[in-house]
């Protein structure tokens, strides 16, 4: 479908909440179009202290003096009336975090378009970047699509591709996709205003779903291949993080590198000296580059080993007590791990 020309500049209302959405809002405000209002989620407790603070989009809107709406319920007639009063031509969504209702979708005459951090129809849903990295994808991107009631299923207006580096985290990739998506969104809004946009239906048969993340996704199964564990560590950074237990304590693994030739029992520490903290997996192993005790700052291997008694043969485990922790209690031949004593 090709949209008819509208005006030289559009009145746009923006829906978004987290940091990912801020570059798009900034780019819209710098464009020829006018941001007439921002809709963001209600204030929630955030951070380690669970204190109520402004989400990134709200903070930006307040600093810019843009009218702000924070509805608890999108079906609230007062909110729908306030949204209508903005007289926006078009609505833009970037990681708003709520399913839009029919009443809301009907307000702007040019409808809603969304900045989605995947190459649709793959990875529809709440965690497209994280799920792509967890799956070991080598490429992702941003798709601008029209919003419909079915989740992330609307026609596509534009897309841009981006490779995923083998050691990049979700934080690295998402930050760059936010930048790429901002530029793509503005050019798409320009095309809508000029009547040059083309809408392409998605291939339903090729669609996949990116389920919302939970803390349980972070538990490392050391019997898995090293590459899969590495993808889990980088895919779940910065939240909810991959984790494992060592000597009964829970540790967050933040950065790693795959060691294809490493051998040893799954979860066993193979090397623990200087800057080296390596752990065997089901196939191969990983070098831990950054590790963190909950509530403490991240540590390099050298810093971690200076404060924790870890030797070859100690075992990382998915739950406390689910694997023997000490070299002497490991199954197999005593002293079979490098550096252990016979």
C-beta of residue 90 within 8 angstroms of C-beta of residue 10: yes
To 5 degrees, how large is the angle CA 228–CA 229–CA 231? 65
Beta-carbon-side half-sphere exposure of residue 162 (alpha carbons within 13 Å): 25
Q: What is the DSSP string of 148-178?
A: -SSTT-SPEEEEEEEE--TT--HHHHHHHHH
Residue 244's pLDDT is what?
Answer: 98
C-beta of residue 235 within 8 angstroms of C-beta of residue 169: yes
Residue 319's pLDDT is what?
Answer: 85
Q: What is the DSSP letter of 325?
A: -
What separation, in Å, do the N-terminal and C-terminal C-alpha atoms of the chain show? 74
User: What span, in angstroms and rounded, lies between the C-alpha atoms of 262 and 281?
Assistant: 8
User: What span, in angstroms and rounded, lies between the C-alpha atoms of 208 and 121?
Assistant: 7
User: What span, in angstroms and rounded, lies between the C-alpha atoms of 179 and 22?
Assistant: 9
What crossing angle do the helices spanning 22-30 and 170-194 adopt, rounded to 10°? 30
User: What span, in angstroms and rounded, lies between the C-alpha atoms of 280 and 315?
Assistant: 9
C-beta of residue 94 within 8 angstroms of C-beta of residue 116: no
Of 217, 156, 16, the closest CA to residue 141 belongs to 156
Q: Does the pTM exceed 0.85?
A: yes
C-beta of residue 5 within 8 angstroms of C-beta of residue 74: no
Of 220, 276, 192, 148, the closest CA to residue 1 belongs to 192
Phi then psi for residue 14, to 5 deg, are: -110, 130
* Regions of the chain where pLDDT drops below 50: 1-4, 328-342
Contacts of 83 (CB under 8 A, 6+ apart): 13, 37, 39, 69, 104, 107
Kindly state the tokens that stand for 139. 């490429």
Kindly state the tokens that stand for 63. 């600093």
Domains of the chain from N-terminus onward: 11-210 (3.40.50.170), 215-329 (3.10.25.10)
Contacts of 175 (CB under 8 A, 6+ apart): none
C-beta of residue 31 within 8 angstroms of C-beta of residue 186: yes
Kindly state the tokens that stand for 288. 């831990």
**The sheet that has 316-317: what strands, in order across it?**
269-273, 276-280, 285-293, 249-259, 242-246, 316-317
User: What span, in angstroms and rounded, lies between the C-alpha atoms of 93 and 181?
Assistant: 11
Helix, strand counts (H, E) of the chain = 8, 17
Residue 337's pLDDT is what?
Answer: 33
Residue 328's pLDDT is what?
Answer: 43
CA 61 to chain centre: 23
| pLDDT per position as a tens digit, 316-334 | 998 886 555 555 433 333 3
Residue 48's pLDDT is what?
Answer: 57
Residue 327's pLDDT is what?
Answer: 52
- Number of other CB atoms surrounding residue 1 within 10 Å: 10
């Amino acid at each position: 479908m090709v949209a008819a020309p509208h005006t030289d500049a559009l009145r746009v209302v923006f829906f978004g909440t987290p940091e990912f959405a801020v570059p798009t809002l900034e780019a819209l405000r710098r464009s020829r179009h006018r941001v007439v209002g921002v809709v963001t989620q209600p204030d929630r407790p955030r951070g380690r202290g669970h204190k109520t603070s402004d989400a990134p989009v709200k903070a930006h809107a307040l600093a810019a003096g843009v009218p702000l709406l924070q509805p608890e319920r999108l079906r609230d007639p007062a909110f729908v009336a306030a949204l209508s009063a903005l007289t926006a031509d078009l609505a833009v969504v970037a990681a708003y975090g709520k399913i839009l209702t029919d009443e809301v979708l009907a307000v702007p005459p040019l409808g809603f378009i969304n900045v989605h951090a995947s190459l649709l129809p793959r990875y529809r849903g709440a965690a497209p970047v994280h799920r792509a990295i967890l799956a070991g994808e080598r490429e992702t991107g941003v798709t601008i699509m029209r919003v419909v009631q079915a989740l992330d299923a609307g026609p596509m207006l534009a897309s841009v591709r981006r490779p995923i580096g083998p050691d990049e985290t979700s934080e690295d990739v998402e930050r760059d996709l936010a930048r790429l998506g901002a530029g793509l969104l503005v050019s798409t809004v320009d095309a809508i205003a000029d009547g040059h946009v083309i809408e392409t239906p998605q291939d339903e048969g090729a669609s996949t779903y990116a389920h919302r993340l939970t803390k349980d996704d972070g538990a490392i199964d050391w019997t898995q291949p090293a590459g899969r564990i590495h993808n889990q560590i980088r895919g779940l950074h910065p939240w909810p993080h991959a984790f494992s237990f060592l000597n009964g304590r829970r540790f967050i693994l933040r950065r790693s590198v795959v060691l294809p030739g490493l051998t040893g029992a799954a979860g066993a520490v193979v090397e623990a000296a200087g800057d080296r903290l390596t752990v065997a997996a089901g196939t191969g192993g990983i070098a831990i580059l950054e590790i963190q005790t909950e509530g403490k700052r991240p540590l390099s291997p050298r810093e971690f080993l200076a404060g924790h008694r870890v030797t070859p043969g100690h075992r990382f485990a998915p739950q406390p007590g689910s694997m023997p922790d000490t070299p002497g209690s490991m199954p197999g031949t005593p002293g079979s791990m490098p550096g252990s004593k016979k």
